[in-house]
Structure formats: structure tokens, C-alpha cells
């Protein structure tokens, strides 16, 4: 291995995944769990430090992961944006380009300090993923299912919140030093990881352990930065961050595919933008018109249970059913 190639591993994956579905790490395994109410003491508002960050030093390693996630300055708002396509995979037929997709995640971090565990941080965020016509790129309100020939209502992803459940610190609870989850090759550095998701499906019943129907997906993300930018301890946030995100999952519930064989594949690229105002018009105007809360991240002390795409879908479907029942009753 050449001296300019370093691999620093870290089992804590919150610094890897940053957006819609890219949030899988932040809520891995237990999407309904709330963050602990007492997470730690307030840390420095500005965690920058002079000199070069050393990945082998736990207090620097945690800052490296924080820069990959957000900013070393508490409350600095970081915005991620990505776009790509969503495709079907059905045995015996060609893959279909079903949708274009475009998403964003808006977040900031709170800094912590613990007597035993040292410096730490926690990110809180909101995220959007829009489904678009693959030809016109217009945001879809309805979609004609090519397998069932039915027109169905499209339910976009609007997850609020998507938070780290608890802070990451320089030292783990069992006293092990934090190691930055980053690979360095000369002038470039990157994070890379895959998260297998398997948990109780919010749309299924109480007997999933007997008949199946657990939610099952895989998400993968790579984040690319410049080494000097990342390791500069005096810089609170990165000047450049590029990402690629992929997702392999079941059919989206609103597609009304039932038990039909097949799966979804999402493939996107993106990065950070300077602010909400710098998002492309294609997603910024939609958020301003229909999701205004997503112009800002949640409060730094947000302790609400995390939202996932499927728990959000359940709320939307339940609300539509309740509205239809009320309307039907009124017409009696």
C-alpha cells in the first residue's frame, strides 16, 4: 500500500448517509425510536482548531466526520441536493425507467462535550424526494401504472425529521476511540458505505414475524471531497462535496403493485449547495409552494421520532382514507 493511500474505518455510519433515504444510517434499525431527551452537555459553538486534522486522533477524527456530515460551527445550515432516475426490475422483462427523481436534505449540527467521551456532535434534518415524469421531468401528481393500467396518486417523500438518534463522540460508550470513516488517496478523500434495512413495515400488520412483509431495502452512498479541504481544522465546512446515492427496494406502496414480483432501483448523483436559495428552481419552487417547513432544518434539540418514507406514506394514506370516509358519510 503506497504511503499516500489511507483507509480509516468507523462503524458509526451517520457521517456517510445524508439525504432522502440517504438518511438510512441516521435511523438504521429502529425508525420509530425517539432521540434521548438528555443527550449531553453543550459543546463549543465553534469546533474549528488551527492546523491539520489528524485522522488517527479521536478528537480530530470526530471533527472529520462532522465536516463530512455538516459544519464544525453549531447551527450552520448545510443543504444537499441530488437527482437521477428510478427503475423497475422484473424477471423476464426489460427494466423500465419509471421516474426521474430529485431530492434535497437540509440539516445542521449541535456540538456537545462530555467529561469522559470528549467532543461530539449530532445532526438534525428534513428531506424531500420528488417523483417526476421520465420524459417531461414534470413533478407527478398522478401516475398510470403500466402493469395494472390504473391511475394512482403519487405520494412524494417528505420526511421530517431525519435525525441522528444521539451524538457521536470522540470516545465510544465502551471507551474506544473514534476513527474517521474516510479513505484518503492523495488529493482526494471519500466516504463509502452500504446500509441493509430490514425492520417492521409500518404498512403491515402485527404478525410480520409469522407471514413476512418486513420492510427490506439496501442503500449505498459515496461522498467525495478534497483532502486539504477536509483536513483543514480552521475551516468549519467543506468547499466542495459530491455524492452518489443508490437504493434497492420493494415497490412503492402508492404504486399499488400488491404482491407482484419485482423491485425498484434508484440511482442518483448530487452534492452540497451553498444555501436553500441555491437549489435548482425545479425543487426549490415546489418546496416554497407546498413544503415551506423544509426551507429550514428542525430545531437543534429536536427529539421527535424519525420519519421514514414508509411511515410518511402511512400517514398520507390514512389521511386520504379518513377524508373519503367523512365525505361518504356526509353524502348519506
Would you write out the chain's pLDDT as a tens digit for each of its 332 residues?
Answer: 433 433 343 433 443 443 334 444 433 333 444 555 667 899 999 999 999 999 999 999 999 999 999 999 999 999 999 999 999 999 999 999 999 999 999 999 999 999 999 999 999 999 999 999 999 999 999 999 999 999 999 999 999 999 999 999 999 999 999 999 899 999 999 999 898 988 777 777 776 665 567 878 999 999 999 999 999 999 999 999 999 999 999 999 899 998 899 999 999 999 999 999 999 999 999 999 999 999 999 999 999 988 777 777 778 878 888 887 787 777 76
CA–CA gap between residue 280 and residue 278 (Å, rounded): 6
Residue 149, domain extent: 5-330
pLDDT for the residue numbered 332: 64
Burial state string for 216-231 with b = 16 or more CB within 10 A and e = fewer than 16: ebebbbbbebebebbb
pLDDT for the residue numbered 139: 98
Phi/psi of residue 254, nearest 5 degrees: -70, -15
pLDDT for the residue numbered 26: 39
How many structural domains is the chain composed of? Answer: 1
pLDDT for the residue numbered 259: 87
pLDDT for the residue numbered 14: 41
Non-local (6+) Cβ contacts of 52 within 8 A are 231, 232, 233
pLDDT for the residue numbered 10: 40
- Ramachandran region, residue 104 (left: φ > 0; alpha: ψ -120 to 50; beta: rest): beta
pLDDT for the residue numbered 294: 98
Amino acid at each position: 500500500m503506497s504511503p499516500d493511500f489511507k483507509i480509516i474505518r468507523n462503524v458509526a455510519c451517520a457521517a456517510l448517509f445524508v439525504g432522502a433515504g440517504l438518511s438510512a444510517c441516521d435511523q438504521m434499525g429502529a425508525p420509530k425510536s425517539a432521540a434521548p431527551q438528555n443527550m449531553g452537555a453543550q459543546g463549543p459553538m465553534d469546533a474549528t482548531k488551527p492546523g491539520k486534522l489528524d485522522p488517527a486522533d479521536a478528537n480530530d477524527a470526530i471533527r472529520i466526520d462532522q465536516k463530512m456530515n455538516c459544519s464544525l460551527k453549531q447551527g450552520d445550515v448545510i443543504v444537499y441536493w441530488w437527482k437521477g432516475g428510478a427503475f423497475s426490475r422484473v424477471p423476464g422483462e426489460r427494466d423500465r425507467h419509471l421516474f426521474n427523481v430529485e431530492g434535497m436534505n437540509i440539516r445542521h449540527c449541535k456540538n456537545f462535550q462530555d467529561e469522559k467521551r470528549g467532543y461530539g456532535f449530532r445532526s438534525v434534518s428534513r428531506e424531500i424526494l420528488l417523483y417526476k415524469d421520465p420524459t417531461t421531468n414534470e413533478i407527478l401528481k398522478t401516475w398510470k401504472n403500466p402493469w395494472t393500467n390504473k391511475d394512482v396518486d403519487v405520494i412524494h417523500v417528505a420526511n421530517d425529521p431525519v435525525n441522528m438518534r444521539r451524538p457521536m463522540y470522540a470516545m465510544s460508550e465502551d471507551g474506544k476511540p473514534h476513527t474517521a470513516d474516510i479513505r484518503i488517496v492523495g488529493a482526494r478523500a471519500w466516504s463509502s458505505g452500504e446500509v441493509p434495512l430490514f425492520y417492521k413495515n409500518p404498512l403491515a400488520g402485527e404478525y410480520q414475524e409469522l407471514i413476512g412483509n418486513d420492510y427490506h431495502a439496501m442503500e449505498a452512498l459515496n461522498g467525495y471531497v478534497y483532502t486539504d479541504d477536509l483536513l483543514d481544522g480552521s475551516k468549519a465546512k467543506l468547499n466542495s462535496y459530491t455524492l452518489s446515492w443508490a437504493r434497492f427496494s420493494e415497490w412503492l406502496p402508492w404504486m399499488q403493485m400488491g404482491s407482484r414480483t419485482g423491485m425498484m432501483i434508484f440511482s442518483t448523483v448530487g452534492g452540497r449547495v451553498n444555501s436553500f436559495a441555491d437549489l435548482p428552481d425545479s425543487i426549490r419552487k415546489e418546496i416554497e409552494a407546498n413544503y415551506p417547513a423544509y426551507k429550514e432544518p428542525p430545531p437543534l434539540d429536536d427529539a421527535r421520532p424519525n420519519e421514514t418514507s414508509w411511515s410518511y406514506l402511512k400517514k398520507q394514506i390514512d389521511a386520504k382514507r379518513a377524508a373519503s370516509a367523512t365525505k361518504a358519510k356526509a353524502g348519506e
